[in-house]
Amino acid sequence: MSKTVAEVMTSDPIVVHPETPLKEAIQILAENRISGLPVIDDAGKLAGIISETDLMWQETGVTPPAYIMILDSVIYLQNPGTYERDLHKALGQTVGEVMSKNSLTITPDKSLKEAAKMIQDHKVHRLPVLDNAGQVIGILTRGDIIRTMAAE
């Protein structure tokens, strides 16, 4: 696997914006048989990723955190902040409300081996590929890597 990310990535990936309605993003994922999309701002810079995992909250809903009552005080047994974040994802109507931020990224000059290690170590399914200006120029998925390995 001496190839670079640029040789294997999908160039000009389908992207959405934070204000894109969720229904539209779901349609794009289903019609193109893909599991995630880069989310870009108006300058073309990565704002996050919307994936099937983010969308599952819409269907499954959210379980409130466990708590106990002592003398009229509520004591949460789990972090209520996590519940609020998950609730926001479950009720979100736009991509920006549901997407995962702080995405792991890679540059096109990196080796495929390095990319595969990042994907494996961080347990992600895709890496947005950014140019020097921070623009999304491609996406590298686990499937891209597997297909390359099969072709060699």
Average pLDDT over residues 4-27: 93
Number of compact structural domains in the chain:
1
**For 51-60, 81-90, 110-119, 129-138, which range has the lowest pLDDT when averaged over its residues?**
81-90
- The pLDDT assigned to 103 comes to 84
Q: Which domain holds residue 137?
A: 5-151
**For 44-53, 59-68, 124-133, which range has the lowest pLDDT when averaged over its residues?**
59-68
- The pLDDT assigned to 86 comes to 58
Quick one: tokens of 148?
A: 């390359």
Is 58's pLDDT higher than 70?
no
Average pLDDT over residues 54-80: 62
Indicate which CATH number applies to the domain containing 108: 3.10.580.10
Average pLDDT over residues 62-83: 61
* Burial of residue 73 (number of CB atoms within 10 Å: 0-12, 13-18, 19+): exposed
Question: How much is the CA Rg of the chain, to the nearest whole Å?
Answer: 18
Average pLDDT over residues 81-100: 70
Is 80's pLDDT higher than 60?
no
Contacts of 48 (CB under 8 A, 6+ apart): 18, 38, 39, 96, 99, 100, 101, 102, 103
Is 57's pLDDT higher than 90?
no
Distance of alpha carbon 42 from alpha carbon 127, whole angstroms = 20
Give the DSSP H/E element, type plus range, for residue 127: strand 126-130
Distance of alpha carbon 150 from alpha carbon 141, whole angstroms = 15
pTM metric for this prediction: 0.75
